[in-house]
Structure 1
Amino acid sequence: HRKKRGRKQSWRTPTMIALTIAAFIFGMLIRGTFDNHSESGSSVTAGLPPSKRLKLDIPGDEKIPAGADNPFPGGGGISVAISSNGRHLAYYTITNRVKNLKLLDLDNFESKKKLISSIDLVGLMFSPDSKWIAFFDKEKIKKVLIETGEISVVGETRVPNYGYWADDGYIYYVHSLGRKLSRIKDVGGTPELLHEGPHQEGATLGKPYVFSGGRGVIMAFPGKGINRNYAPIKYLDLTTKKIKDLGVSGIWPYYHDSGYLLFARNGNIWATPFDLD
């Protein structure tokens, strides 16, 4: 029998996955409340308004580092992000291992702007006022002004991954191989360590979500032998530094103002009622 040659992996699928997720998040941001309140643990994809466009064409020699073909499995932060005002989409493309941070004006899908190129680009975070984009590069936290392309260094870190630019004037970020959560003033300063997890295989912190005013952080807390899709989601009180298990498991938690905790699990997005008090 002749052995079949393996098919060359295509970047089209991960590209569409990343951009479909981005379009979904955009739909969530512009929607004030859910039309149909879901029961605990039920999917919230039903009832959302249809997006005007779910596809963004990427040139053939460029790829988005996301999905099953991600050349940086287990890390690499976020490859796609949408500004809080819903105007811009930021994303990475990669060519010959060089990452390009690009910006798309959602009012004009043909208008693309390259902001920076580097091998070590990781993570994407829009500022709350949608004027800046923060990212990690060469173990530094940097930010770029969208209008002018001006780049500023916020601070230094070690092996960064996920981050969140909160409205309390801080950038929160996971670093040190996913073991630590810290924050730093978005204008620069001395980092503050908020939490350090156990030094064991698989115990890498997930993407943080920070409540308005810096009240607290929710994130996944994977542990040794725990499938990341079933990592316990916990709340870190930034005043007392106490951690509370919320009784749900998944990744990438997000709080919606209608009173729901959203999270992903096994390729699905779920929601459960959540009372911050």
Structure 2
Amino acid sequence: MIPSSLLTALRSARRLVVFTGAGVSAESGIPTFRDALTGLWQRFDPAALATPEAFRRDPALVWGWYEWRRMKVLQAQPNPAHHAIAELARHVAEFTLITQNVDDLHERAGSDAVIHLHGSLQQPRCFACARSSTTPLAVPNEPEDGRRVEPPRCTHCGGRLRPGVVWFGESLPATALNAAFDAARQCDLLISVGTSGVVYPAAEVPHLAWTSGAVVVHINPQAAARQAEREFVLRGPAGEELPELLRQAFGRALGARG
């Protein structure tokens, strides 16, 4: 049962922030870093591949693994949570979507101007000069057998392109992080979905919203109990809880118009 006070807060919110994590993408079948790799990739440690040092040592191996990940994303489809988030944007004056996910499922569900705190699989950049690539990536072949795939070259300096994601040991992009923090400080209500809330500095986003006076909602099957005022927990899959929140708050089914 969704508390009536939460529904009232959502209906009256003018500045809404949605903050998403790996749990939202997992409901579309995209493996998280906590999941075991499949096929012959299972002999690799994901954390050992997601570093600048790994790319320097064997760029073709790292690029091949990320092409496998990008293929999995392209095979996946946005789930009801992604669509509900896109629909929520229609009901508030200002809407900001912040994600820790590196896929494009939010965009494919209809959300725009998404703040990607951990970068994107679809936007590689040069390992040498750091310029973002303007050439669209081709649809990847399936390197399921763990084979190496030579990275494309930068059109500016000729260096190898690297995945446009934040690796272990790297800082989050300052522009995205500052935009996320600003939106959190200024919002009336923040919905945190599918994230454990333990990976910093991204985990600071819901806390900043709450300390700035916003209502904060946590949606997660494993969400911990909250005792603070203006803080709510909806325990369950995002693909069920978000559409239900939308229905109860605005009296319409997902996708309804009028």
TM-score, normalised with respect to structure 1: 0.28
More helix as a share of residues: 2
Q: What TM-score, normalized to structure 2?
A: 0.30
Q: Which has the higher strand share?
A: 1
